[in-house]
Structure 1
Amino acid sequence: MKNLPKEIKCVIFDMDGVIIDSEEIHKKAYYETFASLGVHVSDKLYKSFTGASTINAFQKLVAHFNLDKNPETLVLDKRKRYVNFFENDPNLHLVENVEEIIKYFYQKGLTLILASSSAMVNINRVFNRFNLNNYFAAKISGADLKESKPNPEIFNKAAKLANVPKENCMVIEDSDNGIKAANDANIFVFGYANKLSEGQTLKNADAVIHNFLELKKVI
């Protein structure tokens, strides 16, 4: 476990399960797509997708079931289903207190970067709906990467975009894949214990929080 950096200059946020409670509608969209393919996806297999990009998840699925399907086509199918839920689910909301902590960091002059495996179209959909664009210096999507989480590429790229040394950065993640990516990028990572992020242990996080307001005490 690393110690919290003495001076934080950059905060790198994951999106799904950290900024927005969208895990449930992602799950509905995935399982609708699985049903359309006639495959039964176990909880264990589904949980292994958490934090990975959608293309990575469907590549795994096609290989696992030996499907004669194009993963890119399945991504588009799942995305349509997700958009339908996103636009028609009035209960979709930001994670509790995350907007307050985003504004707190922004007012302290910290550089905020979004580093999400989601497609940029989904990121923009969230950021536009909840008016978050002004607070973030940059947004990275799964499409900007050669490798998906747990590969550290996304966080290496985030630190570079922020133009901040890694020792002055921190990551907030809710998935074990994302935490491993931050570990391998050698950036301090807070695990956020979101009750909706199923099957995530957060065991390799440098610290675990249950409420974003806890961060005000340390930063």
Structure 2
Amino acid sequence: MRENITSVLFDMDGVLIDSQPMHYEADIRTLARFGVRVTVKDVEKYAGTTNVDRYTRFKRDYQIGEEVARMVAFREKVILDLVRSENVGPINGIPELLKDIRDKNLKTAVASSSSYELIAVVLDKLGLKLYFDQVVSGEDMKNGKPAPDIFLKTAEVLGSAPSQCVVVEDSGNGVKAGIAAGMKVVGYINPSSGTQDLSGASLVIQNFREIDAKKLIAL
């Protein structure tokens, strides 16, 4: 029996805000600080992962001697500075979609691999905080995306079963996490996020004006 959709879970970076280029720049600057030169192509495959997961892999793959915690702390300062300094608004169609979702009495949450501090800065900058019932950060997760942990935890705090949730994601890791959680997934093709495998998503879109609350409920 098909369950009714009750909740919509939004990734943040690349979905609410076009921030993936800033995240790639933060990784490039951080790795350079610790002696490793990389390109956007080298780091875009890690989109959607937590800082700890990503820098644990960087440390291993590039044989970096520095502690993961120190690299993550440096990187967090870089990304916060970038987001605060950039003149950027919500991705086109997001405010209207969020308002429609709220008007249909669906529950909403941000489920992001970013830190709580960065999520708070972004939601305040975009003026979107009022549209979300809950915020869950990858900081709290033992396993980051593509593991389903963050989406399962978000469903729990919203009081919804995974089968009652729709995930909105722009990264391949995020889409995999949503599918693994047993949720419907909308994959958003964001050119700024680079090459991302969104196959397996219930629906793939190029613009948020392609969907509304009614279409999400019907997935």
Q: Which runs of 5+ in 1 are unaligned?
A: none
Of 26-35 and 183-192, more deviation after overlay is shown by 26-35
Q: CA deviation at 1:161?
A: 1.0
TM-score after normalising by structure 2: 0.93
Deviations 1:96-123 (A, max 9, x none): 1111101110111100011000000000
Where 1:196 maps in the other structure, the secondary structure is helix
Query: How far off its partner does 1:141 sit?
Result: 0.5
Q: CA 1:67 to 1:58, structure 2 compared with 1: closer, same or farther past 3 Å?
A: same
Q: Deviations over 1:171-205 (max 9, x none)?
A: 00001101111111110101011111111021121
Q: CA deviation at 1:40?
A: 2.5
The one of 142, 165, 171 aligned to 1:169: 165
Q: Which amino acid aligns with 1:56?
A: D
For 2:14 and 2:143, locate their aligned partners in 1 and report how far apart those are by CA, in whole Å. 21
**1: CA distance, partners of 2:84 / 2:13:** 16
* Equivalent position amino acid for 2:200 in 1: N
1:1-219 aligned at under 5 Å gives the runs: 7-41=4-38, 43-90=40-87, 92-216=88-212, 218-219=215-216
Q: Once the 2 structures are TM-superposed, how far is the Cα of residue 44 of structure 1 from its aligned partner?
A: 4.9
Question: How many angstroms apart in 2 are the aligned matches of 1:35 and 1:122?
Answer: 22
The answer as to whether partners of 1:171 and 1:188 remain within 8 angstroms in 2 is: yes
Following the alignment from structure 1 to structure 2, what is the Cα–Cα distance between the partners of residues 194 and 160?
28
**Aligned residues of 1:172 and 1:189 also touching (Cα < 8 A):** yes
Shift of 1:42: 5.0
| Preserved contact between residue 11 and residue 112 of structure 1 (Cα < 8 Å) | yes
Deviations 1:137-175 (A, max 9, x none): 110001111110000011111111111122221100001
Measured in 2, the distance between the counterparts of 1:125 and 1:174 equals 20
Structure 2: segments with no counterpart, 5+ residues: none
- Give the superposition deviation at 1:6: 6.3
Alpha-carbon distance in 2 for matches of 1:9, 1:189: 14
Partner secondary structure for residue 178 of structure 1 = helix
For 1:81 and 1:44, the matched residues in 2 are separated by 19
Amino acid at match of 1:73: R
| Alignment size in residue pairs | 214
Identity %: 33
* Contact 1:176-1:204 within 8 A present in 2 as well: no
Q: In structure 2, what is the Cα distance between the partners aligned to 1:197 and 1:43?
A: 10
SS in 2 for 1:204: coil
